[in-house]
């Protein structure tokens, strides 16, 4: 593969406003409404000329949130910073910051919709 294998992610939600507030609070970003027919999508900030993937929160009839079949890791300078905002934003920490050896550190948390997500940093 010439590029990283992940180019987009979708996090399915049941209560969009609650989920949007959670991710905006934890990552200190503003999500933007995407113009999509038949479903509600709010995109994470993205720069088409930069490396890495972006994605969106998605509310689609018949697609439930929760479970752990998809795990997305968000890049952080120090995952402890975003981890500290999980509980206060209405989520729950599953695994506090831990070393993964030469590959850095991770934290795991549940968002307000029951989705498990990861944080990754090298410090």
Give residue 1's pLDDT band: very low, low, confident or very high (50, 70, 90).
low
The per-residue pLDDT for range 56-71, each reduced to its tens digit, is 999 988 888 988 778 8
CB-based contacts of 85, cutoff 8 Å, min separation 6:
25, 26, 28
Q: Which domain holds residue 82?
A: 76-122
Percent of the chain whose pLDDT exceeds 70: 98
Domain contains 115 = yes
- Check: CB of residue 80 under 8 Å from CB of residue 93: no
CATH of the domain at 111: 3.10.180.10
- Asked if residue 68 is part of any domain, the answer here is no
> Does residue 5 carry a pLDDT above 90?
no
Tens of pLDDT, residue by residue over 89-123, are 999 999 999 999 999 999 999 999 999 999 999 99
The tally of domains found in the chain comes to 2
E strand or H helix at 38 = none
In a domain, 27, yes or no: yes
pLDDT of residue 22: 98
**Which pLDDT does position 62 carry in this prediction?**
85
Q: Do 50 and 90 fall into the same domain?
A: no
Mean pLDDT, range 38-61, rounded to an integer: 90
Q: Are residues 53 and 7 located together in one domain of the fold?
A: yes
């Amino acid at each position: 593969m010439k590029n990283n294998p992940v180019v987009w992610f979708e996090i399915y939600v049941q209560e969009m406003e609650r989920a949007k507030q959670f991710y905006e609070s934890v990552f200190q970003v503003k999500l933007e409404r995407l113009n999509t027919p038949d479903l509600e999508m709010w995109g994470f900030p993205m720069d088409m000329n930069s490396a890495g993937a972006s994605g969106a929160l998605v509310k689609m009839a018949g697609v439930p949130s929760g479970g752990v079949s998809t795990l997305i890791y968000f890049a952080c300078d120090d995952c402890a910073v975003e981890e500290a905002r999980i509980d206060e934003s209405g989520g729950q920490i599953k695994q506090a910051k831990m070393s993964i050896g030469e590959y850095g550190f991770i934290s795991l948390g549940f968002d307000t919709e029951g989705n498990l997500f990861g944080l990754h940093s090298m410090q």
